[in-house]
Amino acid sequence: MAPSFLIVGATGNTGRSVVETLSKLLKTDHIFSGYQIIALTRSASSPAAQQLARLPGVEVAELSWVDITPDWLREREVARAFIAPHNLPNQFAEESTFHLAALRAGVKYVVRISTTAANVRPDCPAYYPRSHWAIEALLGSPEFSALQWTSLQPNVFFNFYLSTAAELIKKFRKEGKQDVLRLIASEDAPVGVIDADEVGTIAAHLLLQEDTAVHNKAKYVLNGPEDITGRGIVKMVEERIGTRVENVSFKDLSFVEQMAAASQESKSVIMSIQHAAETSWEGKASASTTSKEILALAAPTRTPADALKTMLGE
Specify the pLDDT at position 41: 94
> Which CATH number applies to 158-191+225-285+302-311?
3.90.25
- 3-class secondary structure per residue, the chain: CCCEEEEECCCCCCHHHHHHHHHHHHCCCCCCCCCEEEEEECCCCCHHHHHHHCCCCEEEEECCHHHCCHHHHHHCCEEEEEECCCCCCCHHHHHHHHHHHHHHHCCCEEEEECCCHHHCCCCCCCHHHHHHHHHHHHHCCHHHCCCEEEEEEECCEHHHHCHHHHHHHHHHHHHCCCCCEECCCCCCCCECCECHHHHHHHHHHHHCCCCHHHHCCEEEEECCCCCECHHHHHHHHHHHHCCCCCCEECCCCHHHHHHHHHCCCCHHHHHHHHHCCHHHHCCCCCHHHCCHHHHHHHCCCCCHHHHHHHHCCC
Instruction: Assign 171 a pLDDT band (cuts: 50, 70, 90).
Output: very high
Specify the pLDDT at position 33: 86
pLDDT tens, 76-125? 999 999 999 999 999 999 999 999 999 999 999 999 999 999 999 999 99
Residue 44 backbone phi and psi in degrees, to 5: -70, -15
Average pLDDT over residues 136-150: 98
Task: Classify domain 4-156+195-222 at the CATH class level.
Answer: alpha beta
The domains of the chain are located at 4-156+195-222, 158-191+225-285+302-311
Instruction: Assign 1 a pLDDT band (cuts: 50, 70, 90).
Output: low
pLDDT tens, 216-268? 999 999 999 999 999 999 999 999 999 999 999 999 999 999 999 999 999 99
Specify the pLDDT at position 2: 85
